[in-house]
Chain A
């Protein structure tokens, strides 16, 4: 009797059930990349019509306020470090042997000159809390069956988008693709995740691509080489002295 009631209720309120699932799906996808503390090795390639540049770096992150980025390639930039402690950002420039404090306004722009913004990579929980999520379909994307989820910003949310469409794989809750739309419904940029591999016990896309739709020949590629989750670094690691010492 209760089972029949449950099924009946589920049939009566399918969207409610699906909405609950949608939020959970997005949360799970978001949490894949989250950990109290992580250490990763990443290569970022910025592609422009006339040139492209690849930076390889080691990133220590302690959620939510601390991160340290150490550049290993190219040789010209090797040893430069970006440290973020809460709301302050410093850069260590080995070529001039100086630490300089970066005005916070720099943080509000694109992340390290790429097509990813601070919002995309750093601003916590935004994707889960600032949007209303609904599953609109089950679709295949590049060989994986995905939930196609529509995310609509809540009225007070401080996000620039009008709407997001996200493809999350059934198998493993990996965010495989996200389309970003402005309020007129025009597609502005697209994120694609590929090359799912295992990193420290988690299956994540190793290859990330962000492509702005309206500008020809521009995109940013992130290649994750290693990721370790829940490491032992604490706040004291993220210090100005450490900027010069870290390797």
Chain B
């Protein structure tokens, strides 16, 4: 009964109610959109790093990550690759030969890391094939092609088709030399990567070493959500290997994501506070306008408690209506923006050089909506308290007289 009265009261002052619902809706829309943008931004940051080199999960022989000796290779690599590909949720697997070497040109030399790949496999795991700025990703007739970073090319004063000599120590201790020709130059966002990393065909490297050595297996998942589950499965299946997720390979990345979460939580908090003030303000005005009405109600015997509840219910109805409208608007905005993508080039010239990574695809985790709904309810109740108290503490006689 009280509920119906409250509901009717809400719509009595159409203008005020509509305004307030709109304000709440805008608040929620804003909050959701901002969260969408931030989530999208951090997702992009994480995916860029995952795409570029880490993959979601990496396997190594124990000790390889610190020692990086050529002899520390993964035993039975081809069987391992097959087994990993069969795991559900796995989108791509790439076995890499990783050798620290010296790269020399006529002008200079540089300590580098050689990564021997099977191009088709690597494409399913990393985005390096999309980062080629000159030449191609191993579709070449060059006998021993090599891909090098732009920074390294500059350091060694080399161009397309230039010759680079790779030298490293083989398993038996002998020094191996190989001549490679630049078939492609890549540019990722990370100068440290570009300056020391080169890619060659695994077959060419095997011919030089005389062995088929795989030091690193990178696994890419269809979605980051299955990360921990797949990691567990891989660890159980390969107890003799060192299995790491991107979170432990790049702890700075994880830290960045978490700081993003904190920022978003704070922003939502601020928005909710704004709504709190707004609702309180509006309800207060509504209550003050109805002083006579409340006076009459109390004079005819309506208990204070019920008036209190009525005001609270009115606030709740308004807030929930606004909340639902806002959630729908917010979700819609996020989906729309995600489809078209937002270009961050507006905000930074630096980012705009970096092609794909400056596009932002907003996203919101589904779990946010119920949490937000709950917060709206809490805020509404909190906002209602002061106005409701005001309503019931009016003296009936003076309230009536105020008219």
Chain A residues with CB under 8 Å of chain B are 86-88, 104-105, 107-109, 155-162, 180-183, 188, 214
Contacts and interface: CB of A to CB of B under 8 A. Distances in A.
A188 B107 contact: yes
Contacts of A158: 165, 167, 177-179
Residue from A104, A160, A161, A162 with most neighbouring chain B CB atoms (10 Å): A160
A57 B6 CA distance: 101
Q: Which 10 A-B pairs have the closest CB atoms?
A: A182-B106, A158-B177, A108-B102, A87-B173, A158-B179, A104-B169, A108-B167, A160-B106, A188-B106, A158-B165
B162 interface: yes
B109 interface: yes
Interface in B132-149: 143
B9 interface: no
A86 B173 contact: yes
A24 B397 CA distance: 125
Residue from A108, A162, A181 with most neighbouring chain B CB atoms (10 Å): A108
Contacts of B169: 87, 104-105
A52 to B, nearest CB: 22
A109 B222 CA distance: 44
Interface of B: 100-102, 104-107, 109, 111, 143, 157, 162-165, 167-169, 173-175, 177-179
A216 to B, nearest CB: 15
A214 B157 CA distance: 13
A189 B157 CA distance: 15
Contact of A160 (B143, B165, B168, B174): B165
Contact of A183 (B104, B111, B163, B168): B163
**Residues of B contacting A: mostly:** strand
A104 B179 CA distance: 19
Residue from B104, B106, B143, B167 with most neighbouring chain A CB atoms (10 Å): B106
A108 B176 CA distance: 10
Given A160-B165, A183-B163, A188-B107, A155 B173 contact: no
A162 B158 CA distance: 12
Contact of B111 (A86, A105, A156, A188): A105
B171 to A, nearest CB: 11
Contact of B143 (A88, A105, A155): A155
A85 B81 CA distance: 39
Contact of B105 (A87, A182, A214): A182
7 contacts: A87-B174, A104-B169, A105-B102, A108-B167, A156-B179, A159-B165, A188-B107
Given A158-B179, A182-B105, 17 more contacts: A87-B175, A104-B173, A105-B101, A105-B102, A105-B169, A109-B109, A157-B179, A158-B165, A158-B167, A159-B179, A160-B105, A160-B164, A160-B165, A181-B106, A182-B106, A182-B107, A188-B107
B74 to A, nearest CB: 23
A109 B106 contact: no
Nearest to A88: B173
Nearest to B164: A160
Contact of B102 (A109, A155, A159): A109
A107 B174 CA distance: 12
Contacts of B163: 160, 162, 183
Contacts of A214: 107
Contacts of B162: 183
